[in-house]
Amino acid sequence: MDKERSAQAEVRDILRASKYKYTRQREKIMDVLLENIDEHLSADDVYNLVKDKAPDIGLSTVYRTLELFQDCNILHGIDFGDGCKRYELNHEIGEGHHHHHLICLVCGQIIEVKDDLLENLEKRIGAEYNFDICDHQLKFFGYCEKCAGQKSPV
Amino acid sequence: MDKERSAQAEVRDILRASKYKYTRQREKIMDVLLENIDEHLSADDVYNLVKDKAPDIGLSTVYRTLELFQDCNILHGIDFGDGCKRYELNHEIGEGHHHHHLICLVCGQIIEVKDDLLENLEKRIGAEYNFDICDHQLKFFGYCEKCAGQKSPV
DNA sequence: CTATGTGCAAATCCTTTGCAATCCA
DNA sequence: TGGATTGCAAAGGATTTGCACATAG
């Protein structure tokens, strides 16, 4: 895939720019992230997926790499309240798009909302609080179509 | 304090309405939450604060109570990425107000933004996705006034 | 060649759970 | 009274760390 190819090159350059090495493991982990760009993978998810490509990889390498990628602004972590951190590629990488999440309080389903109408709000608030905003995260909580009847957590 | 008094009564009624008991421990925990309404306390923070009022309380009671309060919509948990869940009273309880957070990527400082201009967006998205939205959470990431120079995490 | 990165196992941290004793309604 | 709640200690799960070895540049 061309898109993945260039995303890999981009990541390699980002890492090298910060004097980090572009290792086999980091490449494979990036592969997994790109192949599952619509998912919200946990470190363990990534570990299980990447083991097919690099059976000798260690779980701690996955943790360390995800943290490194986060520091390099390649991805960011989100908490959906299920007890582990999940990751999402930043929109500059791959075919990403800025989006938000609808989280169903009953079934836990997460629906992505393609929308980025917060730019004005972001500017206004940044100016008002003298805060240099570079990203935002918006979560909506409520009840999905299916669960709209039964309003109590499982 | 009158405000705290009535907030306590409100909580007591909410609990009783769901057939939960209004115990001494739950009352003391609520005290702590009301006295620190501007903070984002973790379970451990609450535990340490409440030990002054009820030295015999157990950490698991704190965890269980915070979870119960969350189920009852008295408070909700937020993740600021520091490895533990933090809690915030809902705006219906106490003197709360709907607000968002500015999180500094360098010093980790959290600034509250009093603002609720998302109602229209909420309505629009709810309608578009047929999702019954009852709450939202918005976080802005960036650099605070002090840290604006040094753009790299500590 | 040498600093960086890795795998493994052990350690750590936060949170949950089992159970007997206790307490509220 | 009787079911809900609690405290304690132990278990659980996610993440981090120490260290000897491997590897990218």
Q: Could you report the per-residue pLDDT of A23-66, keeping only the tens digit for each?
A: 999 999 999 999 999 899 999 999 999 999 999 999 999 999 99
**Same topology for domains A1-96 and A98-154, yes or no?**
no
Which of B73, B99, B125, B135 should one mutate to test binding to chain A, selecting the residue with the greatest count of A CBs within 10 A?
B125
Contact across the interface for B143 and A136, Cβ inside 8 Å = no
Please answer whether residues A80 and A110 qualify as being in contact, where contact means their C-beta atoms are separated by less than 8 angstroms.
yes
pLDDT tens figures, B29-71: 999 999 999 899 999 999 999 999 999 999 999 999 999 999 9
Residue among A68, A69, A70, A24 at smallest CA distance from A50: A24
Per CB-CB distance under 8 Å, the chain A contacts of B132 are: 142-144, 148
Domain ranges of chain B: 1-96, 98-154
Residue A128 phi/psi, 5° resolution? -65, -40
Name the residue with tokens 């999402």: A88
Tell me the pLDDT tens digit for each residue of B110-136.
898 886 678 888 899 999 999 999 888
Nucleotide nearest to A26 (CA to C1'): C5
CATH topology of domain A98-154: Dna Ligase; domain 1 (3.30.1490)
- CATH code of domain B1-96: 1.10.10.10
**Does A154 score more than 60 pLDDT?**
no
Mean pLDDT value across chain B: 88
Residue A38 phi, psi dihedral angles, 5° rounding: -90, -10
The span from the CA of B115 to the CA of A91, in Å, is 26
Best interface-test mutation with A: which of B138, B139, B151, B152 has the largest number of A CBs within 10 A? B138
